[in-house]
Amino acid sequence: MSCDLDLGKEAGSTDPPIDFFWEQATSVERYIEPKNGAMFHVVGSVNFDSITHSGLKTYSYSYDKINGSDNASNQIPAGTVVATITDAGRYSKFKIEVYGYNLVIKFVTYKENLPAPLLT
């Protein structure tokens, strides 16, 4: 699964640049892999609505993969919130609603420099 948080959709390999790829290395080993310059910060199990646009600007972001393996090293179990800077430079946040072989996320992407949501 690939996702474009700017366009608000699951994306295929021929779609515009994606923000992340849900990599299934093995049946157990899994990663959220940032793509095309997108960056992430795992916030943790917090109230999704409490993470504001201005709050997103305070995190340290990374191009590193996030371990989502189906074992004790999983950093993104259901309920985890991840802060994002998309490939287009917008602030975004997503919450892992359902964790498994497939992910279900809830997300908000903000317009550049504006606190109003672009997509939810």
> Do 94 and 105 contact (CB within 8 A), yes or no?
yes
- Looking at the domain assignment, is residue 119 inside a domain? no
- Looking at the domain assignment, is residue 34 inside a domain? yes
Determine the pLDDT at residue 10: 86
Q: How far apart are CA 25 and CA 91, in angstroms?
A: 28
- Looking at the domain assignment, is residue 6 inside a domain? yes
Q: How far apart are CA 85 and CA 97, in angstroms?
A: 20
- Looking at the domain assignment, is residue 27 inside a domain? yes
Look at the chain and report how many structural domains it folds into: 1
Q: What is the domain range of residue 95?
A: 2-111
- Looking at the domain assignment, is residue 20 inside a domain? yes
Determine the pLDDT at residue 8: 87
- Looking at the domain assignment, is residue 117 inside a domain? no
Determine the pLDDT at residue 114: 44
- Looking at the domain assignment, is residue 120 inside a domain? no
Mean pLDDT, each 10-residue run in order, the chain (120 residues): 89 79 94 95 97 95 97 98 94 96 93 56
